[in-house]
């Protein structure tokens, strides 16, 4: 039994050695003000962040994060950490976002940089390695961005991943694997995944249309053709409109003054439209011609699409119309299970937020109800009040029976 326990301990120790947490930030106190750097890029009016758990939370200390605090502002804040590479390992990027302001238009994503980032000059055009997270603007844009830089160009995912659009905290996780596959999780639930080469346009297509191939001139793609033996019936031709047989010339119509009277035209019930011969199967039909493909000479496989040779910084570089978003629980690791364990803790946070928000909403409703003036029972009688000095009419049951 003892040997079994020692074996398990050894395995766990080996597992922990082989798995790394490269960077983690939970914003426990004001130390972020000295660790994170605001951009001073000219020409932009940047907003400030503040440390808070927000208006509703589960734990007032544990749930603190960085919140955007000014409306209609760009935000540009970043932090550098010890550089690492994901060569031969998983790359897991995870963070939580809480749009407690019920955001109308603005970003909730993070950008990942190499060590070349000039933090004090970070702006929207600063080169980055990865951009990941939610973006909302009106009812038409509620998506999760997954953008990779490859050979100096940013490539957007070709799939549409819908983000959460409520006012509570949600965990976003991106996993990039050495086999060139990926996963996107929201609140520890997989919402998308696949192959990097298939879902981004990093590389030219493997196959292209053969430039030498041409559709044969006698290739017939018509499934049906007009019946050559079909003929138009002799009584087919009828005018589309005819004079109204029920119309009569008005009695006061003067031919000399008004001109010759003509009855108005109506739709002809016997009109059959333009005649066309019926269709029959085309005996020469060969189907839709498919352009043959050949191997693309410009295509070269890249087994390292997943690879980020240097990751050194994380930034919040975004625009928001209505401020109030809280960023927290930032994690860079190669251990998906570790990320999931930390992500699972958010469930308790979410439950606490909903409980406090429900209580706040109920208290607000009660406050509005108490501040609303009570209805005066006599007010309904005002409209029917009898003027002073006028006797009220006497109404008896006989009045209703007469």
- C-alpha torsion angle, residues 362, 367, 372, 374 (rounded to 10): 90
Residue 189 backbone class (left: φ over 0; alpha: ψ -120 to 50; beta: rest): beta
Q: Compute, in degrees rounded to 10, the torsion defined by CA atoms 132, 138, 142, 143.
A: -40
Q: Is 135 annotated as a binding residue?
A: yes
Residue 271 marked as a ligand binder = no
Angle at 210 between CA 204 and CA 212, to 5 degrees: 140
Instruction: Tell me if 128 is assigned to a ligand binding site.
Output: yes
209 is in an annotated binding site: no
Residue 150 assigned as binding residue:
no
SS (H, E, C) the chain: CHHHHHHHHHHHHHHHHHCCEEEEECCCCCCHHHHCEECCCCCCCECCEEEECCCCCCCCCCCCEEEECCCCEEEEEEEEEEEECCCCCCEEEEEEEEECCCCCEEECCEEEECCCCCHHHCCCCCCCCEEEEEEEECCCEEEEEEEEEECCEEEECCCCCECCCCCCEEEEEEEECCCCEEEEEECCEEEEEEEHHHHCCCCCCCEEECCCCCCCCCCCCCCEEECCCCCCCCCCCCCCEEECCCCCCCCCCCHHHHCCCCCCEEECCCCCCCCCCCEEECCCCCCCCCCCEEECCCCCCCCCCCCCCCEEEEEEEEEECCCCEEEEEEEEECCHHHHHHHHHCHHHHHHHHHHHHHHHHHHHHHHHHHHCCCCCHHHHHHHHCCCCCCCCCCCCHHHHHC
Q: Which two tokens stand for residue 155?
A: 């490539």
Q: List binding-site positions.
A: 109, 111, 128, 135, 317
Q: List binding-site positions for an alpha-D-glucoside.
A: 109, 111, 128, 135, 317
């Amino acid at each position: 039994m003892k040997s079994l326990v020692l074996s398990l301990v050894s395995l766990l120790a080996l597992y922990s050695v082989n798995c790394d947490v490269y960077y983690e930030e939970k914003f426990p106190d004001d130390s972020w003000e000295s660790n994170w750097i605001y951009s001073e890029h000219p020409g932009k009016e940047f907003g400030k962040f503040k440390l808070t758990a927000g208006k509703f939370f589960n734990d007032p200390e544990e749930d603190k994060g960085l919140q955007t605090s000014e409306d209609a502002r760009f935000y540009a804040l970043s932090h550098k950490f010890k550089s690492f590479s994901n060569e031969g390992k998983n790359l897991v990027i995870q963070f939580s976002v809480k749009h407690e302001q019920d955001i109308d238009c603005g970003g909730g994503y993070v950008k990942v940089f190499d060590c070349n980032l000039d933090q004090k000059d970070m702006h929207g055009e600063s080169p980055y390695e990865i951009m990941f997270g939610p973006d909302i603007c009106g009812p038409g844009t509620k998506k999760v961005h997954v953008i990779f830089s490859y050979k100096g160009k940013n490539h957007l995912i070709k799939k549409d991943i819908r983000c959460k659009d409520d006012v509570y905290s949600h965990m976003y996780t991106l996993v990039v694997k050495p086999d060139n596959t990926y996963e996107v999780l929201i609140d520890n639930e997989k919402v998308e995944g696949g192959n990097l080469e298939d879902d981004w346009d990093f590389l030219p297509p493997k196959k292209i249309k053969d430039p030498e191939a041409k559709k044969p001139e006698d290739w017939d793609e018509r499934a049906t053709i007009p019946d050559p033996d079909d003929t138009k019936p002799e009584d087919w031709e009828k005018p589309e409109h005819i004079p109204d047989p029920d119309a009569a010339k008005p009695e006061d119509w003067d031919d000399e003054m008004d001109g010759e009277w003509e009855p108005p035209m109506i739709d002809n019930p016997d009109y059959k439209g333009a005649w066309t011969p019926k269709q029959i199967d085309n005996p020469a039909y060969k189907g839709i011609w498919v352009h043959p493909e050949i191997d693309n000479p410009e295509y070269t496989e890249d087994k390292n699409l997943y690879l980020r040779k240097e990751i050194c910084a994380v930034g919040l570089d975004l625009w928001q119309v209505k401020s109030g978003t809280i960023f927290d629980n930032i994690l860079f690791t190669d251990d998906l299970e570790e990320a999931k364990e930390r992500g699972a803790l958010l469930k308790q946070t979410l439950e606490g937020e909903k409980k406090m928000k429900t209580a706040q909403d109920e208290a607000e409703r009660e406050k509005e109800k108490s501040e609303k003036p009570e209805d005066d029972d006599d007010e309904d009688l005002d409209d029917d009040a009898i003027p002073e000095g006028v006797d009220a009419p006497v109404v008896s049951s006989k009045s209703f029976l007469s």
